[in-house]
Amino acid sequence: MPEVARSLEEYRYLSLPGAHAKARHNGCVGAQFPWESAWLDDGEVTPEYMGTDVVTGQLIKVWSGFIEIHITSDVAFGVWQYYVCTGDQDYMDKYGYELIFDCAKFWLSRLEEGADGLLHINDVVGPDEYNERRRSQMTAPS
């Protein structure tokens, strides 16, 4: 159903203003696609905090809206897969190349040089997305 796939890919293009806003908010350039969105130009709508930690009494930060960043790669991959499967050059010319380019700009702006002289993408949520930050805070020296 290539027409349905194209419509989904065009939706991603239409949501670029929100992805640009999220990237800027996080000190980056290009497009950082949100973990959760409501409207095309909203960017991220994941709540910043939820609930209270029963041990510390502190609000629990929801990190997925900030550093769960693989969605941007998913969007770029989806654009490319759509093109590979359909050969829709019209889509690529109108929307696809810009989406991929904006995703690439985001990733470049997210790189940090490490002590080893190599470039790294730091401060991301790993596979255990609900405990990563909490665990590191609990084991940090006081």
**Residues catalogued as catalytic:** 129
138: helix, coil or strand?
A: helix
The values of phi and psi at residue 19, to 5°, are: -70, -35
- C-alpha span between 136 and 122 (Å, rounded): 14
Alpha carbon 133 to chain centroid, angstroms: 18
- C-alpha span between 38 and 141 (Å, rounded): 39
Q: Beta-strand (E) ranges in 54-141?
A: 59-61, 112-113, 119-120
